[in-house]
Amino acid sequence: MVRTQVQLTEEQAARLKRLAQEEGVSQAELVRRAVERFLQEEANGGFAERARRALAAVGRFASGEKDVSQAHDRYLEEAFGGLR
């Protein structure tokens, strides 16, 4: 491993410390995970590629519901509510 130094805001440092304690890992481990996730995303095209893929999906699926444009929040809550 290579030792490096990173400067964080007070708030970032506090949040990182809390999360590390909650997960039972070191702060360095969380930073390594974050860096790896960032590098993987960039290798896969980054935000621009995700946006392109999302826009390519627009209009390709039909729910059969007539009120999705008005009730989308309710449908999302029903679909993903249990993931919290």
Which of the 8 DSSP states describes residue 25?
Answer: S
**pTM to 2 decimals?**
0.58
Q: How many residues does the chain have?
A: 84
Q: How many CA atoms lie within 13 A of 38 on its CB side?
A: 6
Per-residue model confidence (pLDDT) at position 50: 82
Per-residue model confidence (pLDDT) at position 9: 98
Per-residue model confidence (pLDDT) at position 4: 94
Per-residue model confidence (pLDDT) at position 36: 96
Per-residue model confidence (pLDDT) at position 82: 66
Per-residue pLDDT of the chain (84 residues; tens, 9 = 90+): 999 999 999 999 999 999 999 999 999 999 999 999 999 988 888 888 888 888 898 888 887 888 888 998 988 898 888 665
- In angstroms, rounded to a whole number, what is the distance separating the alpha carbons of residues 71 and 65? 10
User: What is the domain partition of the chain in residue ranges?
Assistant: 1-58
- In angstroms, rounded to a whole number, what is the distance separating the alpha carbons of residues 6 and 53? 33
20, with CB counted inside 10 A (0-12, 13-18, 19+), is middle
